[in-house]
A and B are shown apart, each in its own frame.
Chain A
Amino acid sequence: MNAIYMVAIDHNKSNWKHSPFLEYAKKSWEYWCEKNGVDFHCVTKHNEKYGYPIWNKLDVTEVCKDYDKVGIVDCDTMIKWDAPNIFDTMGEGIHGVRDTSNLRWVYDSLNAYGSEFFPSFQLEIQKYINAGVVFLDKKSLKVYDKIREFYFDNQETLDNWSKGGGREQTIFNYIAQINGFNIRLISPTWNLVGMHKTELFSMNWQKYSNEVPYRTIGEFFQFLKDNNEQPFYTKYGNIYHFTGFPIEQREEIMRQTWELTKKYYE
């Protein structure tokens, strides 16, 4: 049996609540899980032993200890209604998508965490993956035990971290590589990060016009609706990750995406 594990906690340490957009993420994942015989776990209650809600991810080894394979996904992701069952084709290892959407951020984050905690380890940047969507077999799930151990050994520093570079992603990558876990890169379609930068908020508008017929994201979704079209990311992607653009737009874009595609989830 396999499972999807998602953390979506509203917490006073976050400026933005997850619950408004969680609705859409959850609906898509619940549908896909049911269709594919996969259990879905969504954690909405914060475990006080952690300083920030993101670290609740580490409880996956307890919640999902009896599963063969587990997917750990952020609550700002949606999965396509007919995305294939990735658990059927994946083997041993940690499966994830290379994150190059902001290489400067990655480079700085590696330097910040590297110099503080891992000064003698040269991380292989070619295997640096986005931690917001990862699929693991039972053996590889142990990477989260290692991260938990690291977190509690360094909790004060990590909970008060102010050097930038995110919270858990870079540590995840360091711990995975230092401990020799097998990192297997999968197609970017399994975690479409930075969709605004890669221009996935688009469609083949040239079927209708010689000029782009929309100027704003609102007009874009209206155009899709009026013409019964899909944006490129839902047409050809498997998992859409609504990150990298202003967070205040996230709920609206996820809502619009759900409105466009909900008929396929029924």
Chain B
Amino acid sequence: MSKNVVFMHAIGYREEYRYGKESWAKWCENNDVEFVFLDEEVRPVEDMFPNYQRYYMFDLLDASGIEYDRVLTVDADTLINPNAPNIFEETKSDVLYMVHDDGSYDWILRGMEHYRDEMSNEFGDIWFDFGSYGNSGFQLLGKEHKEFFKSMVELWDNYGELIMDISNRYGIGKEQTIWNFMIRKHNIKWQLLPYEWNMTNMMKKEILSDNFAFTKVGWVYHFNGIPDKENGSVARWMRETETYLENQ
């Protein structure tokens, strides 16, 4: 019998991924959703940027014999509140749902301009309202989006080297902005969910604090944009948040 699936990819071990995995696995269990965790490379990371490998998701699910209706793919540096409602029940299958990202419009708009200019063969004159730019760390999809994910992989096969080069030259990321362009190029029906479903850049929004107020205002906590990541700041926030949520 097919189920809804949460797919988390965590290629390359980091301590914080453990907390993301535990949190989502628990929520899935409570909501009769299958949890799939990918921590192995599909392709060598030298050949394909780790985050980009999420676009093999449908292939991996099919190859594993997992039957599914809808899929939510999430970054491994996210936690979900155990009381979060079942988002699959509130949304439609043929729409790609995402959450707007306003963490750094400087990074976003430079990225949009550079990719538009340097990949004009692929994106033509596509341009879109930056107020609708989505964060790819939370994508709610249906089976209908299998072809779209295939086109993302094809794009890398054709332009992977160029994407790496553009990204390295300008420091503008290798996946999220491209994914935004591709959504528009392929006329994918999309809709923005409220910030509460992918709370990025919580520090900038001044909600990330020791009293865990952020757990009162939303459901999915995305621990990005936090300084000192290399010294364990993200892992610490995720560990403490998980403990806090468990004790509620």
Residues of A near any B CB (own CB < 8 A): 98, 100-105, 107, 125-126, 187-189, 197-200, 202, 204, 206, 232, 236
In the bound complex, CA of A206 to CA of B106 (Å) = 11
Complex: A103 Cα to B221 Cα, angstroms: 13
Give bound CA distance, A206 to B130, whole Å. Answer: 19
**Cα distance A146–B130 in the bound complex, in angstroms:** 35
- A200, B204: Cβ atoms under 8 Å? no
Decide yes or no: A187 and B131 within 8 Å by CB, A104-B213, A198-B102, A206-B170 being known contacts. yes
* B186 interface residue per 8 A CB criterion: no
Q: Is A126 in contact with B129, judged by CB distance below 8 angstroms?
A: no
Q: Which residue of B lies closest to A206 (CB)?
A: B170
List 9 A-B pairs, minimum CB-CB distance, nearest first: A187-B131, A199-B106, A103-B207, A202-B106, A126-B194, A104-B206, A188-B131, A103-B205, A199-B104
Contact residue among B104, B109, B170, B195 (Cβ-Cβ distance under 8 Å from A236): B109
B107 engages A125 (CB within 8 Å): no
A105 to B213, CA, bound (A): 11
Known: A126-B196, A189-B131. A104 touches B209 (CB 8 A): yes
The 15 listed contacts between A and B (C-beta, < 8 Å) are A103-B207, A107-B217, A125-B196, A125-B217, A126-B196, A188-B102, A199-B107, A200-B105, A202-B109, A204-B110, A204-B113, A204-B114, A206-B170, A232-B109, A236-B130
Query: Is B100 an interface residue, CB under 8 A from the partner?
Result: yes
Shortest CB-to-CB span from A106 to chain B, Å, is 8
Contacts of B207 in A (CB 8 A): 103-104, 107
Note all chain B residues with C-beta closer than 8 A to A188.
Answer: 100, 102, 131
| B105 close to A198 (CB less than 8 A) | yes
Beyond A100-B205, A126-B195, A204-B114, 13 extra complex contacts between A and B, CB < 8 Å: A103-B206, A103-B214, A103-B217, A107-B217, A189-B130, A198-B102, A198-B104, A199-B106, A200-B105, A202-B106, A202-B109, A204-B113, A206-B110
Chain A CB within 10 A, most for which of B100, B102, B114? B102
* Cα separation A197 to B110 with both chains bound (whole Å): 16
Residues of B within 8 A of A236 (CB): 109, 130
A124, B216: Cα distance in complex, Å:
12
A101 to B107, CA, bound (A): 17
B132 to A187, Cβ gap below 8 A? yes
Q: Nearest CB to that of A103 among chain B residues?
A: B207
The docked-state distance in angstroms from the alpha carbon of A78 to that of B109 is: 21
